[in-house]
């Protein structure tokens, strides 16, 4: 029988050449040499130990450790500390510095501004290597939960109601407790009641203190109130295909040539329409006059398109009906009927058709129309615009529809609606920005360009979420989360640089 040498895996002390562990062509080797070339003076503003105090861990070492950890899917500062203590690759990259997890966590959470300067320097390096084409930028976002409790969200009125409810419950329990006779059998229950009263009172006090510190509700879009969160007030409730989460939307602007992220920012809102213009302003230095901007329907609005037109920015922003107009998606309805493990995507049965404007006969002088029941509807108010067409509104007298036998076929809510209104299209109105964009995106050129958007931005989120295992933000506050999101974008861009140099 063949004999083999025993493989001994027991711990031992071995001489290790730290530089030799950083293999050329690897991400660790690239980070080690790249970070040493960058200007990291922006990190120095945090330290006050020029004349006294102990020497601090170098920001160069901490940045290298965090970037390497994020590239391997390690987000927790404790896991990074363990890697710096036990993993030979991390030991080589950090020079066996062994930073404490609190030092790593503090470095990530406070360095948003300095991280932004590093991000900009790496973009300059990538641009010099020819990795940024500036022909097309694709914009998209990913919604991720954060270190915040979804159950502690609400308006100030809802928080006040919660505090009052807790105070009433505590008062009722206290009165009941005082009314009970004291006895040996009641000691345990009295102790539990007292503990619960204290907990309710303490929680109500925290809510009232939060209300005092935040005298205003968060403003939302269109004058609405956006729900606050007592754990992280900068985060927001975001609707996803997996349900509602409490977190942030990480937005990335990706160049089409080599999928380099030219702008990355995290926002505490799920309304992507609000983010388009600020994100474009943030990447203004990277754009040129001929750069085409593409984005999905979440960023579409007439106001956004008008603002882009005023600034002379060429853009293809899809509308919600784009796929229904595209013959390439003609068979997509068959997939909606398939069972889905998360939710049912099948459409609800449609309502029976009601009489439309084509069923009404308009008078030659446009003073009135005749309905299918033979009754007259008179002109109502000024002209309006519907779907890009000028239209005239007509309304039936109050008593005309009361006993009409066709009410069920004419009115959406026959039990409550008093009379029918109808708008008749007359002429083509001036095209809106949405209509112009719709015509461009429906053309052969527009479909080709918009099709490139999928291949540009979606793989980036696949890399960050699947390969780097970013499934949630671990920090609180918009500034800290934004810095963490930029770090992951920085990892992605450095990988692009490494892969490009390998191919070259």
Q: Based on the number of CB atoms within 10 Å of its own CB, is 212 exposed (0-12), middle (13-18) or buried (19 or more)?
A: exposed
**Per-residue pLDDT, 313:** 94
Same domain, 283 and 365: no
CB 240 within 8 A of CB 465: no
Same domain, 140 and 275: yes
**Per-residue pLDDT, 109:** 95
Highest mean pLDDT among 87-91, 242-246, 328-332: 87-91
Residue 346 has pLDDT above 60, yes or no: no
| % the chain with pLDDT above 70 | 91
Same domain, 142 and 241: yes
- For the domain that residue 282 is a member of, what is the CATH number? 3.30.420
b/e sequence 346-355, b meaning 16+ C-beta within 10 Å: eeeeeeeeeb
Q: What is the mean pLDDT of residues 309-328?
A: 88
Same domain, 249 and 305: yes
The answer to the question of residue 293 being in a domain is yes
Q: What is the mean pLDDT of residues 269-287?
A: 92
b/e sequence 259-285, b meaning 16+ C-beta within 10 Å: bbbbbbbbbbbbbbbbbbbebbebbee
Same domain, 184 and 321: no
Among 48-52, 175-179, 205-209, the minimum mean pLDDT is found in 175-179
Choose one of 164, 184, 216: the last residue of a domain.
216
**Per-residue pLDDT, 339:** 58
Q: What is the largest CA-CA distance in the chain?
A: 108
DSSP string, 347-358: PPPPPPPPP-GG
**Type and span of the H or E element at 226:** strand 225-226
**Per-residue pLDDT, 342:** 52
pLDDT, averaged across the chain: 88
Residue 408 has pLDDT above 70, yes or no: yes
The answer to the question of residue 351 being in a domain is no
Res. 459 pLDDT band, cuts 50 70 90: very high
Nearest-angstrom CA–CA distance, 207 and 220: 22
Q: What is the mean pLDDT of residues 233-250?
A: 90
The answer to the question of residue 37 being in a domain is yes
The answer to the question of residue 294 being in a domain is yes
Q: Are strands 228-229 and 225-226 parallel, antiparallel or unpaired?
A: unpaired
Same domain, 310 and 424: no
Res. 84 pLDDT band, cuts 50 70 90: very high
- As for how many domains the chain has, the answer is 4
Same domain, 426 and 450: no
Q: What is the mean pLDDT of residues 390-418?
A: 86
Res. 348 pLDDT band, cuts 50 70 90: low
Each residue's pLDDT tens digit, 115-168: 999 999 999 999 999 999 999 999 999 999 999 988 899 999 999 999 999 999
Choose one of 401, 430, 459: the last residue of a domain.
430
Kindly calculate the radius of gyration of the chain based on its CA atoms and give it in whole angstroms.
31
Q: What is the mean pLDDT of residues 428-440?
A: 81
The answer to the question of residue 189 being in a domain is yes
**Per-residue pLDDT, 207:** 92
**Residue 153, CA distances (Å) to 132, 230, 235, 253, 473 in order:** 41, 7, 10, 30, 18
Same domain, 325 and 364: no
CB 181 within 8 A of CB 165: no
Residues in the chain: 504
Residue 332 has pLDDT above 80, yes or no: no
Same domain, 369 and 439: no
Nearest-angstrom CA–CA distance, 211 and 220: 18
The token pair at 3 is 């004999």
Nearest-angstrom CA–CA distance, 190 and 35: 62
User: Which residue shows structure tokens 């930028």?
Assistant: 137
Residue 184 has pLDDT above 50, yes or no: no
Residues with Cβ within 8 Å of residue 45, at least 6 apart in sequence: none
Each residue's pLDDT tens digit, 162-177: 999 999 998 888 887 7
Same domain, 257 and 394: no
The answer to the question of residue 455 being in a domain is yes
The answer to the question of residue 441 being in a domain is yes
Same domain, 200 and 187: yes
What is the span of the domain harbouring residue 165?
A: 156-216
The answer to the question of residue 349 being in a domain is no
**Per-residue pLDDT, 388:** 62
Res. 345 pLDDT band, cuts 50 70 90: low
Same domain, 25 and 85: yes
């Amino acid at each position: 029988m063949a004999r083999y040498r025993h493989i001994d895996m027991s711990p031992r002390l071995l001489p290790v050449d730290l530089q030799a562990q950083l293999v050329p062509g690897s991400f660790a080797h690239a980070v080690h040499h790249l970070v040493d070339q960058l200007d990291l003076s922006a990190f120095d503003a945090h330290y006050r130990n020029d004349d006294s105090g102990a020497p601090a861990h170098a920001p160069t070492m901490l940045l290298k450790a965090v970037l390497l950890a994020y590239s391997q899917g390690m987000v927790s500062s404790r896991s990074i500390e363990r890697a710096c203590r036990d993993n030979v690759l991390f030991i080589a990259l950090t020079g066996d510095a062994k930073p404490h997890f609190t030092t790593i966590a503090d470095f990530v959470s406070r360095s948003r501004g300095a991280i932004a300067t590093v991000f900009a320097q790496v973009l300059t390096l990538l641009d010099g290597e020819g990795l940024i084409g500036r022909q097309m930028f694709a914009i998209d976002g990913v919604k991720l939960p954060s270190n915040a409790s979804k159950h502690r969200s609400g308006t100030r009125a809802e928080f006040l109601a919660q505090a009052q409810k807790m105070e009433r419950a505590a008062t009722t329990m206290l009165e009941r407790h005082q009314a009970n006779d004291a006895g040996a059998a009641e000691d345990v229950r009295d102790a539990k009641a007292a503990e619960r009263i204290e907990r309710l009172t303490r929680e109500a006090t925290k809510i009232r203190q939060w209300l005092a510190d935040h005298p205003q509700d968060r403003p939302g879009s269109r004058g609405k109130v956006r729900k606050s969160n007592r754990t992280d007030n900068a985060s927001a409730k975001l609707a996803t295909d997996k349900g509602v989460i409490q977190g942030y939307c990480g937005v990335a602007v990706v160049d089409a040539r080599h999928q380099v992220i030219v702008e990355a920012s995290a926002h505490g809102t799920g309304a992507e329409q609000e983010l388009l213009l600020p994100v474009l302003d943030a990447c203004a230095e990277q754009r040129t006059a001929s750069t085409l901007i593409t984005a999905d329907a979440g960023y579409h609005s007439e106001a956004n398109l008008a603002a882009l037109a005023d600034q002379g920015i060429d853009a293809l922003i899809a509308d919600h009906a784009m796929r229904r107009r595209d013959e390439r998606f003609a068979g997509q309805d068959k997939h909606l009927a398939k069972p889905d493990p998360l939710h049912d995507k099948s459409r609800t049965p449609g309502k029976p058709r009601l009489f439309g404007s084509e069923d009404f006969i308009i008078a030659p002088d446009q003073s009135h129309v005749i309905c299918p029941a033979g009754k007259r509807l008179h002109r109502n108010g000024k002209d309006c615009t519907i779907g890009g067409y000028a239209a005239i509104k007509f309304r039936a007298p109050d008593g005309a529809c009361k006993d009409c036998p066709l009410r069920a076929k004419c009115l959406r809510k026959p039990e409550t609606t008093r009379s029918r209104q109808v708008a008749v299209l007359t002429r083509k109105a001036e095209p809106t920005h949405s209509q112009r964009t719709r015509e461009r995106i429906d053309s052969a050129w527009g479909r080709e360009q918009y099709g490139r958007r999928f291949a540009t931005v979606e793989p980036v989120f696949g890399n960050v979420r699947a390969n780097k295992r970013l499934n949630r933000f671990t920090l609180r506050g918009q500034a800290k989360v934004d810095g963490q999101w930029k770090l992951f974008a920085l990892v992605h861009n450095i990988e692009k640089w490494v892969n490009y140099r390998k191919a070259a």
